[in-house]
Structure 1
Amino acid sequence: MKTFIKVTEVWIPDKERTQLEFGSGLYGGLTDFKVDSEQQKFAYNEGLPGKAWAAGHPIVLAKFEHSYFKRIAAAKNAGLTCGIAIPIFSGDFLMAVVVFLCGDDEDHAGAIEVWCNNPVLDKSLAVMDGYYGTLQYFEAVSRQISVPKGQGLAGLAWESGMPVLIDDISKADTFIRAGDAQQAGITMGIGIPVADNPGQSYIMTFLSAKATPIAKRIQIWIPDQEGKQLICQQGYSKSSNELAKIFETMAVTKGVGALGRVWLTGMPVITGNQESDYSPELDSLSSMLAIPVIEKGRLKAIVSFLF
């Protein structure tokens, strides 16, 4: 199965917390690009991860050519043309930067968007930037609309301060672009609040198309009422997976397994190593990225992408 995202990386502060160094990554068959990336470091405001750190919000770099992207030659050889960087903050302090890299080809349909509000008016969200692959018409529509709080995927995530997943989104009454999504073949969407800034809100939306889904499976995990375990609030699957369904019925303890580590540390985690994946009986699930949603220094949710 082709997925919309070709490379996923986590960049973390070094011991002095003045540079970003390679944390982990999923590269598929792009071995040369992986080797090149593992040697990189990024200062504050340098390269795509450093720019997102300095900006304090997600960044979309639609084209690498003649840009501040540091790995242009390696990316070109790997067929990568676009990057999205999402900084994870706890208050003023950066925990990590998650980077998604995509490539342009004829079958590459889907969307990753950054929505933000006007802090003066504070009444609606608009697309600040996004990557839409081959969906030019859907992109044009998306860049022209504004979304009030509580409406649409981004507006619902903004109002609740929590991740929102809508399955069969082209038929959802709450999704303003439902008709356009159906025309574009978009079947699922998830909205994630990603910045912890008073007055200024940023929402990431990931929209999956049938042919090239964002991920094979997406799950939203939240702490229970006692704050002792994580439970799966919602899940989406491109295809039925019995192991994944079993996993979703389990509770996760802080510090145990990949999701438990995200809860314990506030750091995003990438797994693909059977020794560190969820539990022995579930090792065959997939490689996974887990992103924390943090507000005022507290974990509100974890979104997991299984590739």
Structure 2
Amino acid sequence: MMDIVLDTPTRTFVEVSEVWVPEGDRLVLAEGNYGDLKEFAAASGQESFGFGEGLPGKAWSDARPVVLKAFEGSCFKRTEAAKAAGLTSAVAVPVFDGETLKAVLVLLCADDSERTGAIEVWQARDDILRLADGYYGSARHFEWVSRHTHFPKGQGLPGAVWAASTPILMRDLGSGYKFIRSESAGKAGLTTGLGLPVPVPGNDTFVLTLLSARGTPLARRFEIWDARSARVGRSKEAVLVDGICAREGPLWSDETERRAAAWQGPIGKVIGSGLPQVMSGTAGLPADYSSFIALPIHQQGELAYIVALYI
């Protein structure tokens, strides 16, 4: 596996991560990583969301990932607290197991002239993936190119995820021939792409892509874990099948599989609960990482994959 060295970030693209879970007929905060944004954390801890209410509630009712590039005039309920914290945009990703909502993962970003990266939502229409919405930070030209690009099944990162129904890591976006938007990605400084399917009730197809830049990466370490029972041979276990790390070198190999069991470590919490996980602080994380975001993907009635980001 080829390792990509990412510069140590001075500022991250994502500033806040939250997990909202159903409790009765509302979504309540299960976990949140707010960094030093204590006032926004306090405001968030007092909130809950009904069906269709606020950003988490809208992701629940619409049964699809929802991107907000601005909070004013939107469904967002914590606008004043977010403004005071310098937050300007967000994406909410619902986690469904069949018809059942397990949780909603919310990522919040701050916009300035230096932050580059992309969070994209692609939707299949007429056998073509088209951009449903996205947030790009300062990568304005790449955003324009993306809005004028579409993907048939199997083409580019979104199309490859659609065809395989699996998460996919793509390296060297600026020079990789498999990345259709490589020229504009290279100019924007985008280096690493992570694409994942977002299963939802009904027949709609959504693909989420997270594109990371050197100076303000989404994460310094990316992992994809396969938790399908057919892959691991027994339930409540997962195998690391791909990863990119800034400093540690290859994270896996065919000769030395890495496995995680339920409730053992950060990945184990996802396996055991089937829920997204957000952690802050160094306890329980590999050395030199201070936060962790994990998103489970449920398919055909079982936990199929886990995508993990370490910052």
Structure-2-length-normalised TM-score: 0.90
Q: 5+ residue gaps in structure 1? A: none
> Letter of the aligned partner of 2:129 in structure 1?
L
Match of 2:48 among 32, 41, 53: 41
- 2:59 maps to 1:55: no
- Corresponding residue for residue 4 of structure 2: none
Contact kept? 1:10, 1:97, Cα under 8 Å: yes
> Letter of the aligned partner of 2:148 in structure 1?
Q
| Secondary structure of the corresponding residue to residue 241 of structure 2 | strand
- Corresponding residue for residue 177 of structure 1: 181
Q: How does 1:128-277 map to 2 (within 5 A)?
A: 128-223=132-227, 224-228=231-235, 229-237=237-245, 239-241=246-248, 245=251, 250-272=258-280, 277=284
| Secondary structure of the corresponding residue to residue 49 of structure 2 | strand
Give the C-alpha shift of residue 274 in structure 1. 5.5
Distance 1:255 1:100, change over 3 A: same
> Letter of the aligned partner of 2:89 in structure 1?
C
| Secondary structure of the corresponding residue to residue 171 of structure 1 | coil
| Secondary structure of the corresponding residue to residue 49 of structure 1 | helix
> Letter of the aligned partner of 1:302 in structure 2?
I
- 2:8 maps to 1:4: no
- Corresponding residue for residue 94 of structure 2: 87
| Secondary structure of the corresponding residue to residue 57 of structure 2 | helix
Give the C-alpha shift of residue 264 in structure 1. 2.2
Distance 1:273 1:109, change over 3 A: closer
Give the C-alpha shift of residue 254 in structure 1. 2.2
Q: CA RMSD in A?
A: 1.9
**Partners of 1:206 and 1:284 in 2: CA distance:** 22
| Secondary structure of the corresponding residue to residue 64 of structure 1 | coil
**Partners of 1:170 and 1:77 in 2: CA distance:** 35
Task: Name the % identity.
Answer: 39
- Corresponding residue for residue 107 of structure 1: 114
**Partners of 1:249 and 1:101 in 2: CA distance:** 34
> Letter of the aligned partner of 1:173 in structure 2?
Y
Give the C-alpha shift of residue 180 in structure 1. 1.1
Distance 1:231 1:58, change over 3 A: same
Distance 1:285 1:211, change over 3 A: closer
**Partners of 2:85 and 2:299 in 1: CA distance:** 36
**Partners of 2:275 and 2:209 in 1: CA distance:** 20
Distance 1:115 1:71, change over 3 A: same
Match of 2:80 among 73, 78, 83: 73
Give the C-alpha shift of residue 199 in structure 1. 3.1
Structure-1-length-normalised TM-score: 0.91
**Partners of 2:273 and 2:263 in 1: CA distance:** 8
Distance 1:235 1:270, change over 3 A: same
**CA-to-partner distance for each residue in 1:150-169, whole Å, 9 max, x for gaps?**
11111011111100000112
**Partners of 1:67 and 1:197 in 2: CA distance:** 24
**CA-to-partner distance for each residue in 1:214-254, whole Å, 9 max, x for gaps?**
111111011344135312111112x2037x949x9631012
**Partners of 2:190 and 2:36 in 1: CA distance:** 26
- 2:303 maps to 1:299: yes
> Letter of the aligned partner of 2:204 in structure 1?
Q
**Partners of 1:300 and 1:169 in 2: CA distance:** 26
Deviation beyond 6 Å, 4+ runs, structure 1: none
Give the C-alpha shift of residue 258 in structure 1. 2.1
> Letter of the aligned partner of 2:119 in structure 1?
I
Q: 5+ residue gaps in structure 2? A: 1-8
> Letter of the aligned partner of 2:270 in structure 1?
V
- Corresponding residue for residue 3 of structure 2: none
Match of 1:97 among 93, 104, 118: 104
Contact kept? 1:56, 1:195, Cα under 8 Å: no
Contact kept? 1:43, 1:50, Cα under 8 Å: yes
